[in-house]
Amino acid sequence: MPITSKKIALGVLAAASTVALLAGCSAAPSASTGAAKSKYLPCVVGDTGGFSDHSFNELTLNGVVAAAKEIGSSYKKVASATANDLVPGIASLVTAKCNIIAAPGFDFEKPIGDAAKANPKTNFAIIDDNTLNLPNVKDIVFETDEAAFIGGYIAASYSKTGVVATWGGAQYPSVTIYEDGIADGIAYYNKQKGKSVTLLGWDVATQKGTFIGDFSNQTLAKTDTQNFLDQKADVIIPVAGSLYQGAAAAIQSSGSAAVLEGVDADIYQTDPTYKSLMLVSILKNLAAPTQAVIVAASKSKTFDNSLYVGTLKNNGVGISSFHDYASKVDPGLAGEVAKIKAGIIDGSITVTSPSGFKK
């Protein structure tokens, strides 16, 4: 399958030689407790947001923990408070003699690339990047536009006002691929049903939309969501890690009847504080491939650096259940979703995105 490379410049990050220099001054990794049967040591370095973000960091950590349990080993983790902590965090895990280091997100492209080149005996797995092409790096990417297509269709079906809104944390390919899928799913609903549900916050044709600028500003997330609520949007789909919390705050404080769709994890389950607002979640199943890659690496003498692409077909992406909204959606929606999923898998429904990993 042809792959589209996406390069993201990260000027704040240091060069490869910095990895070794910073190893001594980085925060010490925290380790799991208990006796380990295997000496193979999987590790994870977190991006900003923390390991309780109900998103990339937490899901990747879950995969590492599950892998360690499966192979009977311990594991280590190190968090990053700011982008400046990524390089020393990786360095500290290299110093701790980790066999494989998992990194949740494309922000790690340069620091992982530098560390991999400087430490060829250490293996790495990086989420949402396919540009490194190094013998000791496993790239894990996802066709989230496939699942987001279904999420957009569901949003259009549920909306009472005929207005859906989406916004992103920052304009990165792993964000806009969701938004492309959402937009196309709404367009497909309109075509099938003869409706005219509109999408605010993202324009597929121009590839422009609304972005917070980061993945931590809950205040701006609340403000932007309120702007969309004022425009009668009643389904909000934030593609911004934990910033769905700011969106939820806007809905709750305004007394709106709007609902949310989650991304990455099933937010209904991972953060039940907001379950009453969660119509459905568009899933990026980070934990499973992270676990599988680590377990496979622990059993093989040769590291497999071939690209992993998560799709609907291999359950790398998916859609959650409707949970509390099962009785509130159109009675025929579940059947329609099943048909759409099957159509995407067999190719009769085409889903593409400029940010995707297939043509």
Q: Examine residue 206 and state whether it is found in any structural domain, yes or no.
A: yes
Structural domain harbouring 101: 16-141+286-310
Based on the fold, state whether residues 218 and 279 are members of the same structural domain.
Answer: yes
Quick one: 335 and 303 in the same domain? no
Same domain, yes or no, for 103 and 213?
no
Model confidence at 189: pLDDT above 80 = yes
Instruction: Report how many domains make up the chain.
Output: 2
Query: Both 108 and 189 in a single domain?
Result: no
At 21 the pLDDT is 34
The 3-class SS string of the chain reads CCCCCCCCCCCCCCCHHHHHHHCCCCCCCEECCCCCCCCCCEEEECCCCCCCCCCHHHHHHHHHHHHHHHHCCCCEEECCCCHHHHHHHHHHHHHCCCCEEEECCHHHHHHHHHHHHHCCCCEEEEECCCCCCCCCEEEEEECHHHHHHHHHHHHHHHCCCCEEEEEECCCCHHHHHHHHHHHHHHHHHHHHHCCCCEEECEECCCCEECECCCCCCHHHHHHHHHHHHHCCCCEEEEECHHHHHHHHHHHHHHCCCCEEEEEECCHHHHCHHHHHHEEEEEEECCHHHHHHHHHHHHHCCCCCCCCEEECCCCCCEEECCCHHHCCCCCCCHHHHHHHHHHHHHHCCCCCCCCCCCCC
What is the band of 18 on the pLDDT scale with cuts at 50, 70, 90?
A: very low
pLDDT of amino acid 33: 53
Backbone angles phi, psi at 24, to 5 degrees: -75, -20
174, part of any domain: yes
CATH number for the domain harbouring residue 200: 3.40.50.2300
114 & 164 share domain: no
Q: How confident is the model at residue 35 (pLDDT cuts 50, 70, 90)?
A: low
- Dump pLDDT digits (tens) for 70-80: 999 999 999 99
Mean pLDDT, the chain, integer: 90
**Tens of pLDDT, residues 143-160:** 999 999 999 999 999 999
pLDDT at 321 over 70: yes
Q: What angle do CA 304, 65, 6 make, to 5 degrees?
A: 45
Burial 48-84 (b: 16+ CB within 10 A, else e): bbbbebbbbbbbbbbbbbbbbeebebbbbbbbbeeee
User: Residue 25 has what pLDDT?
Assistant: 40
pLDDT tens digits, residue range 342-358? Answer: 999 999 999 999 998 86
Copy the structure tokens of residue 157: 């079906």
Say if 319 falls within a structural domain: no
Share of the chain above pLDDT 70, in %: 90
Q: What is the pLDDT of residue 185?
A: 98
pLDDT of residue 304 exceeding 80? yes
pLDDT digits over 87-120, tens only?
999 999 999 999 999 999 878 999 999 999 999 9
Q: In what order do the strands lie in the sheet containing 42-45?
A: 30-31, 76-78, 42-45, 100-103, 123-127, 137-142, 308-310
> Does position 234 have pLDDT exceeding 60, yes or no?
yes
Same domain, yes or no, for 165 and 279?
A: yes
Q: Do 116 and 192 fall into the same domain?
A: no
324 falls within a domain: no
Looking at the fold, whether 305 and 239 belong to one and the same domain comes out as: no
Let me know whether 71 and 191 are in one domain: no
Q: Give the global pTM.
A: 0.79
Residues in the chain: 359
Structure confidence at residue 54 as a pLDDT band (50, 70, 90)? confident
- Look at residue 112 in the predicted model and tell me its pLDDT: 97
The Cα–Cα gap between 351 and 168 comes to 20
82 domain-assigned? yes
| Pairwise CA distance, residues 126 & 336, whole Å | 34
pLDDT at 23: 36
Residue 2 lies in a domain: no
Is 233 contained in some domain? yes
In this structure, the answer to whether residues 201 and 175 fall within a common structural domain is: yes
Rounded mean pLDDT of 295-319? 94
Per-residue confidence band for 17, with pLDDT thresholds at 50, 70 and 90: very low
Decide: 56 and 283 in contact? Cβ < 8 Å: no
155 and 112 both lie in a single domain: no
Do 296 and 263 share a structural domain?
A: no
Question: Has residue 321 been placed in a domain?
Answer: no
pLDDT the model gives residue 256: 96
